[in-house]
Amino acid sequence: MSDLSGQTAGTGAPPGQQAGYEQQPVAHAGDGPSGPRAGFWARFGALIIDGIIVGIVQGILTVALADSPAALYTITTLLGWAYYTYFEGGPRGQTIGKMALSIRVIDIHTGAPIGYPRAFLRQIVKIISAAALLIGYLWMLWDKEKQCWHDKAANDVVVPVSAYPVS
């Protein structure tokens, strides 16, 4: 029940919102830019930081598995996929690089975390994004929602934490 101020009676919260819960801004695909998005350089910087982190671990494994190139390739590939899937699919939607640059991955419709299956899908489509002369990555430069191909496939967006805080 709401009073004349439009707030829910007794809670001080706006209508449709419980007291104590901050409502996340919700993006709407197809309505044009629906909110702040992470820019190219923030995303690129996060990718560099994450690449260094994964690269250090892969370098250690390269020394340890130098006699088995097939095992090395398999393990390092799985390591990279696991890193991105775990962090981007988790409740924060942030890899260590994204945390450092205050950006995160969220569902384009709800603002919620994307979960592990969609984070894994992102990793698969990143291969296509890169294989097509990096066009899939550069796509965000002219896309109205600043989405790369892997964002479109997983139905997500990369946003600044200041506009879409981690709950």
**pLDDT band at residue 60 under the 50/70/90 scheme:** very high
For residues 112 and 101, is the Cβ–Cβ distance under 8 A? no
Report domain extents, the chain: 40-160
**pLDDT band at residue 25 under the 50/70/90 scheme:** low
Query: At 10, which amino acid appears?
Result: G
What integer best gives the mean pLDDT of the chain? Answer: 85
